[in-house]
């Protein structure tokens, strides 16, 4: 019997096994509480802003824990071990809002997030977010995943798979069928990089143009021929004196500064704000957030409300449902 058959037989048997109690996470909605990013602050900071816009409202959602009783779901009793874990602090350093914030950010940055829930006695009594950048997923021989490892400071720390809730941003892979199930992919960052890549060179041109006060590149014409040594020396002296106005070439013929033709020398010829807005718009679309969440440019109060509601429905609710599904599967083990 192959690996896949073993896995499916295991989970089919588990699914048909009678369970007296079905634990599940559900979202208890709270009224939502009603950020500028400039390209010059660098791509990484733009990504952080987008990821924060997603993570902050996600972390504030109150998750309701229920169990199945007959054909209906009812709230979990207060003295249940899982209710106590989720009602109290997950560990001595963080609360659950901070923990969920970290899970969301690690997931968006790396495509994987890991919540370690060590078992004390029969049940978990703590929850720790592991640094995704340091976690290694170890494939198994009888199951897809054997365990998780972190190597730090010369030490190797092993985490059993039943004590780690592994959140993934899934993506089809053509390299190996296991990649479709074992590891997630940083799809949001990849999409954002492609979205702004086309505009990077344009922004570099705009930046250099401002440094030159919109003066185009120029060449030097001399009344006499200059050898390479003299030409290089002249260009080096000019570059030292006028760093942002350095010439691109020297030519023999009357000494003069001649602007290269075919270039619009008017600063008003380029809409810099529009370039910035296009980049932010592409970033926002890649991360599934409204453009106005980055610019704070709302047309009116009604539009702001509709935009916020769409963001909650299309992006945040989807993130919450995925989070709850992973937790439900993890704690039902």
Spatial separation of the C-alpha atoms in residues 188 and 177, rounded to whole Å: 22
From the list 85, 278, 315, the residue with the least C-alpha distance to 200 is: 278
- pLDDT value at 30 more than 50: no
- pLDDT value at 260 more than 60: no
How wide is the angle at C-alpha 11 spanned by C-alphas 187 and 148, nearest 5°?
50
pLDDT in tens, 272-326: 556 567 777 888 888 899 888 877 776 677 777 888 889 999 999 999 999 999 9
- pLDDT value at 157 more than 90: yes
- pLDDT value at 59 more than 70: yes
From the list 326, 327, 298, 324, the residue with the least C-alpha distance to 311 is: 298
Span of 41-50, 123-132, 167-176, 187-196 with lowest mean pLDDT: 41-50
Q: Mean pLDDT over residues 195-221, rounded?
A: 56
What pLDDT score was predicted for residue 16?
Answer: 41
pLDDT band at 106 (very low <50, low <70, confident <90, very high): very high
What pLDDT score was predicted for residue 19?
Answer: 46
Is-above-0.85 flag for pTM? Answer: no
Q: Which two tokens stand for residue 82?
A: 């899982």
């Amino acid at each position: 019997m192959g690996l896949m058959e073993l896995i499916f037989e295991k989970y089919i048997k588990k699914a048909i096994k009678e369970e007296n109690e079905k634990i599940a996470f559900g979202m208890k909605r709270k009224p939502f509480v009603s950020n500028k990013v400039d390209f010059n602050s660098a791509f990484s900071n733009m990504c952080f802003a987008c990821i924060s816009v997603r993570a902050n409202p996600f972390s504030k959602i109150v998750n309701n824990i229920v169990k199945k009783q007959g054909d209906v779901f009812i709230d979990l009793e207060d003295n249940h071990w899982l209710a106590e874990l989720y009602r109290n602090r997950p560990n001595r350093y963080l609360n659950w809002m901070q923990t969920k914030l970290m899970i969301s950010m690690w997931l968006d940055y790396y495509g994987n997030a890991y919540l370690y829930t060590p078992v004390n006695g029969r049940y978990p009594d703590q929850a720790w977010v592991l640094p995704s950048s340091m976690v290694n997923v170890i494939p198994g021989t009888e199951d897809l995943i054997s365990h998780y490892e972190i190597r730090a400071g010369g030490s190797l720390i092993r985490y059993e798979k039943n004590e780690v809730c592994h959140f993934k941003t899934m993506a089809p892979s053509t390299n190996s069928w296991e990649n479709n199930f074992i590891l997630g992919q940083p799809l949001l960052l990849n999409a954002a990089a492609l979205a702004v890549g086309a505009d990077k060179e344009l922004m570099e041109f705009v930046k250099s143009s401002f440094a030159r006060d919109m003066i185009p590149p120029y060449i030097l014409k001399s009344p006499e021929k200059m050898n390479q040594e003299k030409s290089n020396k002249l260009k080096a002296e000019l570059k030292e004196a006028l760093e942002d106005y350095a010439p691109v070439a020297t030519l023999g013929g009357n000494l003069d500064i001649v602007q290269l033709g075919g270039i619009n020398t008017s600063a008003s010829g380029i809409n810099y704000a529009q370039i910035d807005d296009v980049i932010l718009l592409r970033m926002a679309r890649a991360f599934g957030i409204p453009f106005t969440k980055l610019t704070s440019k709302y047309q009116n109060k009604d539009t702001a409300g509709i935009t916020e509601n769409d963001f909650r429905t299309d992006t945040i609710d989807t993130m919450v449902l995925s989070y709850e599904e992973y937790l439900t599967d993890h704690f039902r083990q």
